[in-house]
Amino acid sequence: MSPPTPKPEGTILYVDDTEAQRYAVSRVLRNAGFHVLEARTGQQALDMSNPSPDVIILDVNLPDISGIEVCKRLKAGESTARTPIMQVSATAVSTEARVAGLEGGADAYLTQPIEPQELVATVRALLRVRRSEEQLWKSQVQYRSFFEANPLPCLVFDTSDLRILTVNAAAIQHYGYSREEFASMTPRDLVAPEDEAAFLQALTETDSSKHSLHTWNHVTKAGKVIDVEMTWAPLQLNSENVRLAILQDITEKQALQIAQHHEEIRRLLLERALQAQEDERRRIARELHDEAGQLMTSLLVGLRSLSDARRLADAKQQAKRLREITSNAINELGRLARGLHSSVLDDLGIEVAIQRFATEFSQAHDIHVALNMTAAHLSEFTSDEQIHLYRIVQEALTNVARHSQAKHVNIEFRTLEFGLDVIIQDDGRGFSSATQSSSRHLGIEGMRQRAASLGGTLHTNSSKNGGAQVRVYLPNRKKVQGDGAAEKPL
């Protein structure tokens, strides 16, 4: 079995009108392992260059078209622009001739006679260049294909002046600008004004040779504000250092995360409410048994003793004791009822209810409470809304007693032009920012939910020197009903 024919190193098109010279050079190339095509005129060279050979060796002096002109035409053709061309000549050997050949597009210029080893080495060098350029060209084609086909908006911008060099179709569709409009813009033109300073700082701080990921607000041509995750990476484009930026709209993703966060808070609040309900039932059952139950038992025993009394004086004495027991039972049941709902709130209004609760709180926990409600007008709130406000104050003071180790608490109600401002300030140890932002701190979240149900807001703050502040803003009810919105205090 005969050995397989070795694969040629490449296809060479050799163009020379001298038959003897053409034979000699072609023989050297074939012996070196190349497949050789021969042409003797410039027109034949142009006709035989499609499909393009790997290398073209082109004599300068041809009978019909100058070899330099043929070279220019080949370099201008789309299919042959990247084909290496070696110009050769036995007569045009001056420096000016070499310069003219190289400026005409030739990749090499040799003068005859040419040593076979030099000829083969030059051809192989041109082939290496051709293969490297082909790989680079293919990678650029793949990059451009990926760039245009990417469903995410992509843009390339200059690292020096931030000018946008090119964008893909997704960027045009997502932002609403045309390619011509993008060409006169920079990425900072897409960033919302409040994020522009942070964007420019990130550009200066980020190493241009590394990847970077940031999240900012962007504004489309239509004025829509979107949350964008922007990833950029270094890129070489036409020997220039640029950055490729990939933009992902995460507005819906963040909205979903916020909704999930709120749903988690509602679930935890519900769990806490159910647990508090069960704890309250157990407490009431225990206190009814231990306090009211014992008083009722004592009353029953006393009534039996009264029925067995034989003297009027004993009966009167027993009746007196029974009245005391009955009075204690009534007070105890009243205390339990007030724990469930303040009757003072219904009978005398929220001002008196808060004042009484503040007094009882101060006595029970030995914390001085300074309450200022002289500038508050709460009559515009319904009874249900007043209960929410009462519970916010109640929860805030409960948190002070549980966590703050405070000695003084100031509560101030202020009626503003557009609503009610309530500030609860203590001098305790304060709390961390993580505590106020944690979804697990359900006391704060419960107050915030109550404020939101009234159309208001609740903010917490803790200073470095200790102390904490809870600030509630509730819009003016009449103003909300009349205008549909109320201005919040700064």
pLDDT of residue 129: 82
- Any domain includes 434: yes
Q: What is the DSSP string of 61-124?
A: --SSS-HHHHHHHHHHSTTTTTS-EEEEESS--SHHHHHHHHHTT-SEEEESS--HHHHHHHHH
3-state secondary structure of 414: strand
Instruction: Write down the pLDDT at residue 412.
Output: 93
Final residue of a domain: which of 112, 127, 146?
146
**Do 331 and 347 fall into the same domain?**
no
The domain boundary, picked from 203, 229, 249, lies at 249
234 lies in the same domain as 302: no
Domain limits for position 89: 11-146
Asked whether residue 132 falls in the same domain as residue 165, the answer is no
348 and 367 co-located in one domain: yes
Domain presence at residue 347: yes
**What is the tally of structural domains in the chain?**
4
* Alpha carbon distance 333, 284 (integer Å): 10
Which residues of the chain fall below pLDDT 50?
A: 1, 435-440, 480-490
The closest alpha carbon to 472, from 382, 405, 378, belongs to 378
Same domain, 207 and 291: no
Q: pLDDT at position 488, please?
A: 45
In a domain, 123, yes or no: yes
pLDDT at residue 487 in the model: 44
Give the pLDDT of residue 97.
87
Residue 352 sits in the same domain as residue 373: yes
Using DSSP, state whether 138 is helix, strand or coil: helix
Q: Which helix (H) or strand (E) holds 235?
A: strand 225-237
d(CA 171, CA 220): 10
The predicted model scores a pTM of: 0.38
**Nearest of 207, 223, 219 to residue 247 by alpha carbon:** 219
User: Could you tell me the two tokens for 104?
Assistant: 């005409």
Q: How many angstroms separate the CA atoms of 172 and 45, rounded?
A: 45
- Kindly provide the residue ranges of all beta strands, DSSP E only, lying in 131-184, ordered along the sequence: 154-158, 164-167
Residue 433 is predicted with a pLDDT of: 55
Task: Say if 489 falls within a structural domain.
Answer: no
What is the pairing mode between strands 457-462 and 468-475?
antiparallel
Give the pLDDT confidence of 439-454 residue by residue, as tens digits: 445 678 878 888 888 8
For 196-218, give the DSSP string: HHHHHHHHHHS-TTS-EEEEEEE
Looking at the fold, whether 131 and 30 belong to one and the same domain comes out as yes
Q: What's the rounded Cα separation, in Å, for the pair 354 and 345?
A: 8
In a domain, 488, yes or no: no
End-of-domain residue from the set 130, 146, 162: 146
Q: Are residues 221 and 300 in the same domain?
A: no
